[in-house]
Amino acid sequence: MTLRFSVSSIDGAARCGKLETAHGVINTPAFMPVGTAATVKAMLPESVKATGAEIILGNTYHLMLRPGAKRIEEFGGLHDFMSWPGPILTDSGGYQVMSLATLRKIDEDGVRFRSHIDGSYHKLTPESSTEIQRSLDADITMAFDECTPYPVAETIAEESMLMSMRWAERSKKAFKQKKGYGLFGIVQGSTFEKLRLNSVDALTEIGFDGYAIGGLAVGEGHQEMIRILDITASVLPENKPRYLMGVGKPIDLVAGVIRGVDMFDCVLPTRSGRTGQAFTRNGQVNIRNARHSTDPRPLDELCTCPACNGFSRGYLHHLVKSGEILGAMLLTWHNLHYYQELMDGLRQAISIKKLDKFVQSFTEMQTKGDIKAI
């Protein structure tokens, strides 16, 4: 295992660190924009970088179906294919197989499924998922797992978790070690404390470069997610990065950082940007609302992103209501900029041991809500 992770500052359970990969250094805590099909939707690669993002997430399931992992490998890997020079983490494809594919058949070997695109049959196993991610040249490969549905009986959750642990061991055996590249294991167990702790024990026994907390943000609600985070994050190895998968509301990012999480990803800021929803230091704003149509003020007067520099709320409202592509582009850029600004603020607060003060200010501003209408 050849990823290098170091912690430079600690404030309570929260920590600042650096994760060194083959394609660059990631300052943690970090938020990873999601580039599902080799693109962060509505953004150029240089625009993503301009928001402050240092790593993006690619999607094994979507890329294996279209254009295909071998084709991407022929282009020199995902970095060259999409002109993103920085680090890339790819998920294993397990979640998408469970949520998108039809006629799934799961057994000990893996998952056979039909593509949601053209109905063709495919099979993913721990070995093939790991090989696909190698073909993509992912800096961080995720172990193949089954994302347990919610709600679920404890007996079924246990069977699912134990199979994911066996698949994790096979993923480890299939992974080819290389300097600057690493493999993360994924903690499962649904909302059951015993299962979560057993999963952590199994993964740490196998040994990985990092540990992800999976199976959350699937309908369990914020408080239940926090309970599972409290159970899980504190028992993960302190010398390895911790990654909370698919969780992405600003309040959830802050809650995760407080509990020692180092990495996050979510489609929320990009998907919301494409539907007229903006995240600001004063909470969420629906730019479609008629109150913004005559407002000459920027979305966030303290924000330095392109959407807030030179464009009014009234103009953004017009773009979104008219279905103009520029509206989706500007709001997506703004949301990613805000997320990266939030992570930078958290890193700075941890480094000077002022996290409590930062969180208090963040909470007060979010609770205060948007500026009053004109």
Residue among 137, 139, 262, 265 flagged as catalytic: 265
Per-residue confidence (pLDDT) for residue 341, from 0 to 100: 98
Residue 142 lies in a domain: yes
Q: Give the residue from 221, 249, 266 where a domain finishes.
A: 266
Domain closes at, from 227, 247, 266:
266
Supply the range of the domain harboring residue 174.
4-266
Length of the chain as a residue count: 374
Tally of domains within the chain: 2
Instruction: Kindly state whether residues 318 and 200 are assigned to the same domain.
Output: no
Q: Each residue of 343-367: pLDDT tens digit?
A: 999 999 999 999 999 999 999 999 9
With a cut of 60, say whether residue 1 has pLDDT above it. no
Q: What is the CATH number of the domain that holds 70?
A: 3.20.20.105
Classify residue 373: in a domain, yes or no.
no
Q: 297 and 186: one domain?
A: no
> Domain ends where: 233, 266, 299?
266
State what percent of residues in the chain have pLDDT above 90: 93
Peptide linkage before 33 cis (omega within 30 of 0): no
Same domain, 125 and 228: yes
Residue 374 lies in a domain: no
Q: Where are the alpha helices (DSSP H) in 51-153?
A: 60-65, 69-74, 78-82, 94-99, 126-136
137 is catalytic: no
Asked if 217 and 349 sit in the same domain, the reply is: no
Are 323 and 174 within one domain? no
Quote the CA–CA distance of 199 and 204 in Å, as a whole number: 9
Q: Are residues 68 and 122 in the same domain?
A: yes
**pLDDT above 70 for 74:** yes
Q: Which of 91, 137, 139, 145 is catalytic?
A: 91
What span, in angstroms and rounded, lies between the C-alpha atoms of 197 and 228?
10
Residue 47 pLDDT exceeds 90: yes
Question: Is residue 248 situated within a structural domain?
Answer: yes
Burial of 266 (0-12, 13-18, 19+ CB in 10 A): buried
| Residue 265 annotated among the catalytic residues of the structure | yes
Residues 214, 134, single domain; the answer is yes
Averaged confidence pLDDT in the chain: 96
46's enclosing H/E stretch is helix 45-50
Per residue in 109-155, pLDDT (tens digit) is 999 988 889 999 999 999 999 999 999 999 999 999 998 889 999 99
Based on the domain organization, do 314 and 236 belong to the same domain?
no
One domain for residues 55 and 163:
yes
Distance CA 273, CA 303 (A): 16
The stretch 62-67 carries a mean pLDDT of: 96
Position 118 scores a pLDDT of 92
One domain for residues 340 and 198? no
Q: Is the pLDDT of residue 98 over 80?
A: no
Specify whether 240 is located in the same domain as 303: no
Is residue 215, in this structure, part of any structural domain at all? yes
